[in-house]
């Protein structure tokens, strides 16, 4: 709970307390022709288990001291999943598969691709100021790779916030 009410807390796992029977409802809605869309971004709330898992494996971008870079998002902090780290990329792709696709989401809004703090230190060694413009493409590719891993049974949308032209061109219809 925040000062302006309940909000998504960026753990990217179904909260059955807030959304009881969501899995069965999604199946029912699909049978009725209703598509369920969700939301995700490449950050994990610092007080949730996915952030702890990412930190344990070194999957978060770093700050100037070598610690995990945490961004303040208005009453909570989030770790930046370092998509330039191939292991972190694959891990987060699996987070999408397990928590979006396996749940039955027909698509999702892949948000915050445009947001990479420019003072982070990334696994690939490239300055975050330089990576900033490539970050939306990398985030779109992570979603696309998760999506296409299940392509034979899927024809559902992934909605990208503020995609750049090269990203749109690289994703087939």
Residue 80 within a domain: yes
Question: How many domains would you assign to the chain?
Answer: 1
Distance CA 159, CA 60 (A): 24
Residue-level pLDDT at 166: 52
How many whole angstroms separate alpha carbon 58 and alpha carbon 40? 21
Task: Give the Cα separation of 21 and 173 in Å (integer).
Answer: 32
Residues ≥6 apart with Cβ < 8 Å to 79: 43, 44, 46, 51, 54, 55, 60, 61, 68, 69, 70, 71
- Specify if 133 maps to a domain: yes
Helix spans in the chain (H): 22-31, 49-57, 86-96, 128-131, 135-148, 165-170
**What's the token pair of residue 74?**
């208005």
Structure tokens at 86: 């191939």
Structural contact between residues 126 and 120, judged by C-beta atoms closer than 8 angstroms: no
Which CATH number goes with the domain that contains 42? 3.20.20.80
Please check whether residue 110 is in contact with residue 135, taking contact to mean a CB–CB distance below 8 angstroms: no
Q: What is the pTM of this model?
A: 0.88
Residue 137 phi/psi, 5-degree rounding, is -70, -40
Nearest CA to 85 out of 57, 119, 54, 123 is that of: 123
- Residue 48 domain-assigned (yes or no): yes
Is 149 a domain residue? yes
What's the confidence (pLDDT) of residue 7?
A: 75
51 lies in some domain? yes
Q: Can you give the residue range of the structural domain that contains 47? A: 22-163
DSSP string covering 40-68: E-SEEETTSHHHHHHHHHT-B-B-TTSSB
- The answer to whether residue 14 sits within a structural domain is no
pLDDT at 157: 61
pLDDT means over runs of 10, the chain (173 residues): 76 92 96 93 95 98 98 92 98 95 90 92 98 92 83 56 51 47
């Amino acid at each position: 709970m925040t000062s302006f009410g309940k909000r998504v807390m960026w753990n990217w796992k179904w909260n059955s307390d807030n959304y009881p029977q969501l899995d069965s409802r999604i199946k029912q809605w699909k049978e009725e022709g209703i598509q369920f869309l969700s939301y995700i971004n490449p950050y994990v709330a610092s007080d949730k288990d996915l952030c702890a898992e990412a930190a344990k494996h070194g999957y978060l971008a770093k700050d100037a001291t070598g610690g995990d870079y945490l961004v303040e998002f208005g009453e909570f902090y989030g770790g930046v999943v370092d998509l330039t780290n191939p292991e972190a990329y694959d891990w987060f792709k699996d987070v999408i598969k397990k928590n979006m696709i396996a749940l039955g989401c027909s698509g999702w809004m892949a948000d915050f691709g445009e947001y990479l703090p420019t003072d982070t230190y990334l696994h690939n060694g490239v300055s975050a100021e330089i990576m900033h413009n490539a970050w939306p493409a990398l985030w779109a590719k992570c979603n696309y790779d998760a999506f296409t891993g299940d392509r034979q049974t899927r024809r559902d949308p992934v909605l990208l916030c503020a995609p750049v032209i090269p990203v749109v061109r690289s994703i087939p219809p």
